[in-house]
Amino acid sequence: MPVKALILQIEGKVQGVYYRQSTREKAISLHLKGWVRNCDDGSVLIHAEGEVSELSELVQWCQTGPRNARVSRVIENEAVWEGHSEFRIIR
């Protein structure tokens, strides 16, 4: 199975709406590793590692996110593999 790492920046109303915890739950359900954190500019940053098909499913989920989120844009870039052992909220 091909594996890779992605950095996703989620813009819109994504802080204060349970986005990080929901992302963690979704990533764990997809067997992805990495982290999610809030950024000072109001966006959410995600580093996810795993199989390409599961990463694609996470990217698709991020377009909407949890119920109260209003996502305006998802910026997706390949990232360097960091070798995480779990998916964590780091800030």
Instruction: Find the catalytic residue in 20, 37, 70, 88.
Output: 20
Instruction: Find the catalytic residue in 24, 38, 68, 91.
Output: 38
Residue 68 among the catalytic residues: no
- The single-letter code of the amino acid at 4 is K
Residue 38 among the catalytic residues: yes
**Strands across the sheet with 33-38, in order?**
70-78, 3-13, 44-51, 33-38, 87-89
Q: Catalogue the active-site residues.
A: 20, 38
